[in-house]
């Protein structure tokens, strides 16, 4: 009887060791599988680069005041749905920048 108890304890100890040793591997695998949150600065950098490409009509790599004003005027006109020359809260809250709308801006 004492021999069976020792064997049972030995099996339980081995099972606990295997479980303990396997846990860090599971944790590493879970971390690797989880998507990494993107750096907010990196996201902003991408958006700024896209905006530059969108507004920089002369492809100088910089936005001139003239290019900026043409872009903003076109955006204002797009948002001013009732064409009254003013933007109200409804028009502003429905604002979504659509890249395709501005492809010919400033040309």
Comparing CA positions, the residue from 84, 83, 78, 85 lying closest to residue 100 is 78
Cα 27 to the center of its chain, rounded Å:
25
Structural domain including 4 reads 1-35
Q: 51 and 9 share a domain? A: no
Interval 55-97: pLDDT, tens = 999 999 999 999 999 998 998 898 898 899 998 888 888 766 5
Would you say the pTM of this structure is higher than 0.95?
Answer: no
Using pLDDT thresholds of 50, 70 and 90, give the confidence band for residue 28.
Answer: low
Number of domains in the chain: 2
Q: What is the number of alpha carbons within 13 Å of residue 82 lying toward its C-beta? A: 9
Q: 31 and 45 share a domain? A: no
Q: 55 and 96 share a domain? A: yes
Q: 89 and 48 share a domain? A: yes
């Amino acid at each position: 009887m004492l021999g069976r108890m020792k064997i049972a304890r030995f099996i339980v100890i081995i099972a606990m060791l295997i479980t303990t040793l396997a846990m860090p591997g599971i944790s590493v695998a879970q971390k690797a599988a989880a998507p990494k949150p993107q750096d907010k600065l990196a996201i902003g950098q991408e958006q700024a680069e896209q905006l530059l490409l969108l507004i920089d009509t002369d492809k100088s790599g910089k936005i001139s005041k003239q290019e900026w004003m043409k872009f903003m005027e076109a955006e204002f006109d797009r948002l001013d749905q009732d064409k009254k020359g003013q933007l109200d809260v409804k028009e502003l809250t429905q604002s979504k920048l659509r890249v395709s709308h501005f492809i010919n801006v400033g040309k």
